[in-house]
Amino acid sequence: MDEEILAEGCRRGDNAARRELYDRYAGRLLAICVRYVGDRATGEDLMHDAFLKIYGAFDRFTFRGKGSLRAWIERITVNVALEWLRTRNRLGTLPLDEGRVADTLAEPQAAEVARVPREVLMEFVAELPDGYRTVFNLYCIEELPHREIARLLGINEKSSSSQLFRARSLLARRIRTYLETHE
């Protein structure tokens, strides 16, 4: 079933279409939720919340070509995860260390990162503090600019940039350690 027909079936409340949508996208949406909240159990709850929101919002979906359905449901899922983080006040920013230069560690080269299994990289991302992980996901995966991230999270652009820098530094450190111990 192509996306346009699938979306129309969901809009009409067709349970077969809803099942198809779930079967087709549940794994992807779960991965998004886990990437934002850091644990599978909470991610599963949020994925189900996202599907409920998606099923109830089809009257607002406009098919814009191949991939538009997937992009739309992924955006809703990201927003569900962000809302969960916001309502639990898990996006608090860490104070900047005034007068102290942050530890810098060169980011690993792409070839080095490629030697780390994807599951391990995702564990490293999941272990980041909530604020760092959220900004990292929004900037590096969703490709949003700091201005948009700041608006979504209710922080200033400098905080977004700082949290991304710190997330990258922590990830670089974890990747370097992994490579040193798994060579």
Length of the chain in terms of residues written: 183
Tell me yes or no: is domain 3-87 CATH 1.10.3720.10. Answer: no
Domain boundaries, the chain: 3-87, 110-181
CATH tag, 110-181: 1.10.10.10
Please give the DSSP secondary-structure letter assigned to residue 38. Answer: S
The whole-number pLDDT of residue 67 equals 92
User: Are the C-beta atoms of 45 and 37 separated by less than 8 Å?
Assistant: no
Number of C-beta neighbours around residue 41 at 10 A:
9
Nearest to 32 by CA among 125, 98, 114: 125
Q: Residue 87 carries which side chain, given as an amino acid letter?
A: T
The 10s digit of each residue's pLDDT in 38-65 is: 889 999 999 999 999 999 999 999 999 9
Same fold, 3-87 and 110-181: no
The stretch 177-181 carries a mean pLDDT of: 92
CA distance 57 to 24: 18
pLDDT exceeds cutoff 60 at 178: yes
The whole-number pLDDT of residue 182 equals 87
The 10s digit of each residue's pLDDT in 79-136 is: 999 999 988 876 654 444 333 344 556 788 888 888 999 899 989 999 999 999 999 9
CA distance 120 to 82: 23
CA distance 123 to 25: 22
